[in-house]
Amino acid sequence: MSLFEWMAKGLRRSLAPRRPSTPEPPLRVLNRTRGTVLASRLQVADTGAARRKGLLGRDRLAPGEGLWIAPCESVHTFFMRFPIDLVYLDRKRQIRKLRGSVGPWRLSACFFAHSVLELPSGVIRESQTQPGDTLEFVPADAAGEERA
């Protein structure tokens, strides 16, 4: 195979249409320490594109919704249209830091975190979640029932 043929083969491969990845099913997030549910329909952002987009372009997070960004140790709310709660987790899914009602045009970071949950504003307060609590992630039920 000549160098030209090899390069043409690589170019054809890179220009070929790619199959869209199937979105992961939503998760339910349980605070095992408090016996509460933080989210019943949590989406996962674990690719570069999904982490960059985050919640941008959305008008709100409905009750029970959320986004889990992994890996991630800092977020911004530039160009966001609504406030959110932030829950920073370590690799063992233990809460390292909480930030409630973070409004648009803000920065937040926790350099000990491995991932971040973005939740509707008020979830931290309503669930009485505290640093040190341990979270569990399980597949969301098809029925969407909220139970701990």
What is the tens place of the pLDDT at every residue in 114-136? Answer: 999 999 999 999 999 999 999 99
Q: What's this model's pTM, rounded to 2 decimal places?
A: 0.80
Burial class (CB in 10 A: 0-12, 13-18, 19+), 11: exposed
Closest among 62, 61, 132 to 97, alpha carbons compared: 132
Q: Which residue has the tokens 């890996």?
A: 71
User: Using alpha carbons only, what angle is made at residue 131 by residues 124 and 31, rounded to the nearest 5 degrees?
Assistant: 60
> pLDDT tens digits, residue range 66-99?
999 999 999 999 999 999 999 999 999 999 999 9
Domains of the chain: 24-139 (2.60.120.1140)
